[in-house]
Structure 1
Amino acid sequence: MSNVNDDYWNSSSTSKFNFDDEDLCASQIDSVANDVFSSKQENNINIFAIDFIISKKSLDLLLADADTESVYMVTTVGEAIKKLVRGNKVVLEQFKSYKDKLQLLDEAITTYNGDIILRVTDFLRSTLKFSLFCNILVKRRVALVHYSDFLKLQGNSDELENLYMATGFTTNIKDLYFLKTRSEKNKRETLNRLKYFVSSHSQYLDSFNENKFLSDYVRFLEWQITNGEDKDSVIKQLAIVCKKQWEQNANDDQVNDFKNLFKIDDAQFEWTVLNCLCHLGLWKKLIGMFVKPNWFTKRNVLKSAINSDNFIWGVSRHDPPKNVIEQLLTCLYDSEKSLAFAEKFQCYKFMIEYYINQKDRMGLLRCLEKVVANSEEYFTIKKALESQDKRWKN
Structure 2
Amino acid sequence: MAGHGEDEEYWNDSETKTRARAFNFEEEEYGNQLCGVSMSGTARLSQQVRAEMGRHNAYQCVDSLSGSLSQVTVSGDHQTFSAPLSVLISDKALTCILDASVPYPREAKGPISLDEEVRILRRKVEDRWTPPPVNTTLTKIFLGHPYSLELYRSLELKTELLDASIKLGDGNAILAVVLFLVKTLKKSLVYKLLSTRPDAVAHYVQYLDTRMQLNELTDLLTYLGRNRDAAMKHFRVAVRSKHDAQRQLQRLRACASNHFSGPDSRDGEFVNNYIKLLEWEMAMESCDGEIAQNLVGKPVLDAVTHACRYHWGEPKGSFGSPLTLSHQQGVSDRQYRWTLLTVRAAMQAWEDIDNIFITKSWLGGKKLKAVVPMEEVVRLLHAHQAPAAVLMKYLLLIENPEKQVALVHKLQCHKVAIDLYISQRDRRALINYKANLSPQSEDYVYAENALQASTIRWKN
Most deviating of 90-99 and 226-235: 90-99
- Residues 266 and 305 of structure 1 are in contact (CA less than 8 Å); yes or no, is this contact kept in structure 2? yes
Aligned to 1:126: 175
- Cα distance in 2 for residues equivalent to 1:87 and 1:393: 75
Residue 88 in structure 1 maps to residue 88 in structure 2 = yes
**8 Å Cα contact 1:294/1:301 also seen in 2:** yes
SS of equivalent to 1:129: helix
What's 1:280 paired with?
Answer: 347
The alpha-carbon distance between structure 1 residues 355 and 321, as it changes in their structure 2 partners (threshold 3 A), is closer
1:67 corresponds to: none
TM-score (norm 1): 0.59
* 1:76 match: 65
What is the SS of the residue equivalent to 1:277?
A: helix
Equivalent residues in 2 for 1:1-394 (5 A)? 21=58, 76=65, 79=68, 87-90=87-90, 94=96, 96=138, 98-99=162-163, 102=166, 122=171, 125-129=174-178, 158=213, 161=218, 164-172=221-229, 173-202=231-260, 207-227=264-284, 228=286, 230-246=296-312, 254-255=320-321, 256-292=323-359, 302-385=368-451
SS of the aligned residue for 1:339 comes to helix
Q: What's the offset of the Cα at 1:215?
A: 2.1
What letter matches 1:182 in structure 2?
R
8 Å contact from structure 1 (residues 77, 103) kept in 2: no
The CA deviation string for residues 354-385 of structure 1, in whole angstroms up to 9 with x for no partner, is 32343434422342244343233212323444
Quickly say closer, same or farther: Cα 1:316–1:85, change in 2 above 3 A: farther
Q: What SS does the aligned partner of 1:264 have?
A: coil
| Matched positions, count | 308
Q: Root-mean-square deviation (CA), in Å?
A: 4.8
In the alignment, structure 2 segments of 5+ residues that lack a partner are 1-51, 72-82, 97-134, 139-160, 183-188, 287-294
Give the direction of change, closer, same or farther, for the CA distance of 1:387–1:272 in structure 2 (3 Å limit): closer
In 2: Cα distance, 1:318 partner to 1:182 partner: 38
Find the residue that maps to 2:439 and give its secondary structure: coil
Whether the 8 Å contact between 2:178 and 2:200 is mirrored in structure 1 is no
Larger radius of gyration between Structure 1 and Structure 2: 2
Structure number with greater CO (CA < 8 Å, separation at least 6) is 1
What do residues 16-58 of structure 1 show as CA deviations (whole Å, max 9, x unaligned)?
A: xxx99488xxxxxxxxxxxxxxxxxxxxxxxxxxxxxxxxxxx
Cα distance in 2 between the residues matched to 1:310 and 1:74: 69
Cα contact 1:326–1:342 (8 A) shared by 2: no
Query: Which deviates more, 275-284 or 366-375?
Result: 366-375
Q: 1:391 to 1:373 in 2, by over 3 A?
A: same
* Contact preservation (8 Å) 2:434, 2:447: yes
Task: Give yes or no for contact 2:358–2:368 (8 Å, CA) kept in 1.
Answer: yes
Once the two structures are aligned, what percentage of the paired residues are identical? 20
Gaps (5+ residues) in structure 1? 1-14, 24-72, 105-119
Q: TM-score, normalised by structure 2?
A: 0.52
1:333, 1:243 → 2: CA distance? 31
The 1-side partners of 2:220 and 2:70 are apart by: 26
